[in-house]
């Protein structure tokens, strides 16, 4: 039986655990929530630990393990990853932390361990697909990524099911987005590049630019265009623009009845109370890629709520991408030590073929338009 630690047992951690338990892993689950740890114990029979992994007192526990899979808030993930790597633990991480990920590289090489970052949906699966396209067709000249986590019913509030935190949702509309446009790297306001697109099989969608290509800015630094857009149902962006223009997404603080609180925190709480969490969702991805040999391909993914497993589509696609990469690391299909970015995994023919087959078996299928052939 394969042993490892899973740090962070929220929605994504739970979905990753579903797959890893089914694959014969004996996990030790670490989380700060007693409620979530009870689910891990009762549902899977895993050993659980309520542990603050930011404290040095956790070192004796962490260094017992050779492998860790992590699903943590971006605000603390980088510090935890640094500690794990320093202790000689190989890691696959799904968190989108704000720090420069390449700061992990030298330490991982010195400790002779592997760390895969951004191992989720987007970034993650999107990177792997563009990496495969680049390897297969002679380099990447243009990459346009359109991705979205949406409700199945477009008429519910904002057309969203809140399968991730409201704070992270707000961040999508305010965090500067790094892109390549006309061969130049830029950082732009996410709501400064918006539009509508008619996507085959998906219909009319709105989009705004999002910050999902960070490691690819280095991997594909000679691209002419490389952009990630977040998809929403028509009408959504006007609502978010209005909230942003009125200051509801701002960090500015206001004193109310003697208490000081930020507008963003209030908005976050309102969204948490009013956005649905228990309705069926869907995850969509549409890629347009042009190679340096001017090969032009379009790819599409549309995954609905999983009724059989009773898990949201966002958790399924993100969690199963995370667990699949982790399994292949443990099985030795990731050989190099150091920092490993997902697009590089896509360039590895052996890795990609096994990885793609795993996801297809789970109903996560990327199809090529005008041919319906997997990439």
Domain edge (last residue) among 305, 329, 359: 305
Same domain, 110 and 131: no
Measured in whole angstroms, how far is the alpha carbon of residue 24 from the centre of its chain?
24
Phi and psi for 119 in degrees, rounded to 5? -90, 55
- Residue 372 pLDDT greater than 50, yes or no: no
Same domain, 228 and 247: yes
DSSP string over 109-175: HHHT-EEE---BTTTBHHHHHHHHHHHHHTSEEEEEEEEEEEESSTTSGGG----S-HHHHHHHHHS
Domain of 56, CATH number, reads: 3.40.50.720
Same domain, 255 and 182: yes
Q: Is residue 53 part of a domain?
A: yes
Q: Is residue 358 part of a domain?
A: no
pLDDT at 56: 86
Q: Is residue 213 part of a domain?
A: yes
Same domain, 63 and 185: no
pLDDT at 256: 79
Domain of 223, CATH number, reads: 3.30.360.10
Domain edge (last residue) among 284, 305, 326: 305
Q: What percent of the chain has pLDDT over 90?
A: 87
Element (H, E) at 375: none
What does the alpha-carbon distance between residue 339 and residue 341 come to, in Å, rounded to a whole number? Answer: 7
Q: Is residue 37 part of a domain?
A: yes
Domain edge (last residue) among 305, 332, 364: 305
Same domain, 112 and 138: no
Average pLDDT rounded to a whole number, residues 258-277: 91
Counted domains in the chain: 2
Phi and psi for 235 in degrees, rounded to 5? 100, -20
Same domain, 138 and 236: yes
Average pLDDT rounded to a whole number, residues 51-77: 91
Among 49-58, 90-99, 176-185, 338-347, which stretch is predicted with the lowest mean pLDDT?
A: 49-58
pLDDT tens, 192-226?
999 999 998 899 999 999 999 999 999 999 999 99
Same domain, 276 and 244: yes
Q: Is residue 277 part of a domain?
A: yes
* Confidence band, pLDDT 50/70/90 cuts, at residue 163: confident
The pTM of this model reads 0.94
Same domain, 154 and 292: yes
Same domain, 149 and 276: yes
Q: Is residue 274 part of a domain?
A: yes
Same domain, 95 and 129: no
Same domain, 281 and 150: yes
Task: Count Cβ atoms within 10 A of the Cβ of residue 6 and give its class: 0-12 exposed, 13-18 middle, 19 or more buried.
Answer: buried
pLDDT tens, 20-43?
999 999 999 999 999 999 999 999
* Confidence band, pLDDT 50/70/90 cuts, at residue 253: confident
Q: Is residue 283 part of a domain?
A: yes
Same domain, 112 and 234: no
Beta strands in 203-280 (DSSP E): 203-210, 225-232, 253-256, 259-262
Q: Is residue 211 part of a domain?
A: yes
pLDDT at 254: 82
Choice between 1 and 331, residue whose per-residue pLDDT is larger: 331
Q: What domain range is 89 assigned to?
A: 2-116
What does the alpha-carbon distance between residue 362 and residue 375 come to, in Å, rounded to a whole number? Answer: 17
> How far are the Cα atoms of 4, 60, 61, 89, 339 from residue 112, in angstroms, in the given order?
18, 19, 20, 9, 10
């Amino acid at each position: 039986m394969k042993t490892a630690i899973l740090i962070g047992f929220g929605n994504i951690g739970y979905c990753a655990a579903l797959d890893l338990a089914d694959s014969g892993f004996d996990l030790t689950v670490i989380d700060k929530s007693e409620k979530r740890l009870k689910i891990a114990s009762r549902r899977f029979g895993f050993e659980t630990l309520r542990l603050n992994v930011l404290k040095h007192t956790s070192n004796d526990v962490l260094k017992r393990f050779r492998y860790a899979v992590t699903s943590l808030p971006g605000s603390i993930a980088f510090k935890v990853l640094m500690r794990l790597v320093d202790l000689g633990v190989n890691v696959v991480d799904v968190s989108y932390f704000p720090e420069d990920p390449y700061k992990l590289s030298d330490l991982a090489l010195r400790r002779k361990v592997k760390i895969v970052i951004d191992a989720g949906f987007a970034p993650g699966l999107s990177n792997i697909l563009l990496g495969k396209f680049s390897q297969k067709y002679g380099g990447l000249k243009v990459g346009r990524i359109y991705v979205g986590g949406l409700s199945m019913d477009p008429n519910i509030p904002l057309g969203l099911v809140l399968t991730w935190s409201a704070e992270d949702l707000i961040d999508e509309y305010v965090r500067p987005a790094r892109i390549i446009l006309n061969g130049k790297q830029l950082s732009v306001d996410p709501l400064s590049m918006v539009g509508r697109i008619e996507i085959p099989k998906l219909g009319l969608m709105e989009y705004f630019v999002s910050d999902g290509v960070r490691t690819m800015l280095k991997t594909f630094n000679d691209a002419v265009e490389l952009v990630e857009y977040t998809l929403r149902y028509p009408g959504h962006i006007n609502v978010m623009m209005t909230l942003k223009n009125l200051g509801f997404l701002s960090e500015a603080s206001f004193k109310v009845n003697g208490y000081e609180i930020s507008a963003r925190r209030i908005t976050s709480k309102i969204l948490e109370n009013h956005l649905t969490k228990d309705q069926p969702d869907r995850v969509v991805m549409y890629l347009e890629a042009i190679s340096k040999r001017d090969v032009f391909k379009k790819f599409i993914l549309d995954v609905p709520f999983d009724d059989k497993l009773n898990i949201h589509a966002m958790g399924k696609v993100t969690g199963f991408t995370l667990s699949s990469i982790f399994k292949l690391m443990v099985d030795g299909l990731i050989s190099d030590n150091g920092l490993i970015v997902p697009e590089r995994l896509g360039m590895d023919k052996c890795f990609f073929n096994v990885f793609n087959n795993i996801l297809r078996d789970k109903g996560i299928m990327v199809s090529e338009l005008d041919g319906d052939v997997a990439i």
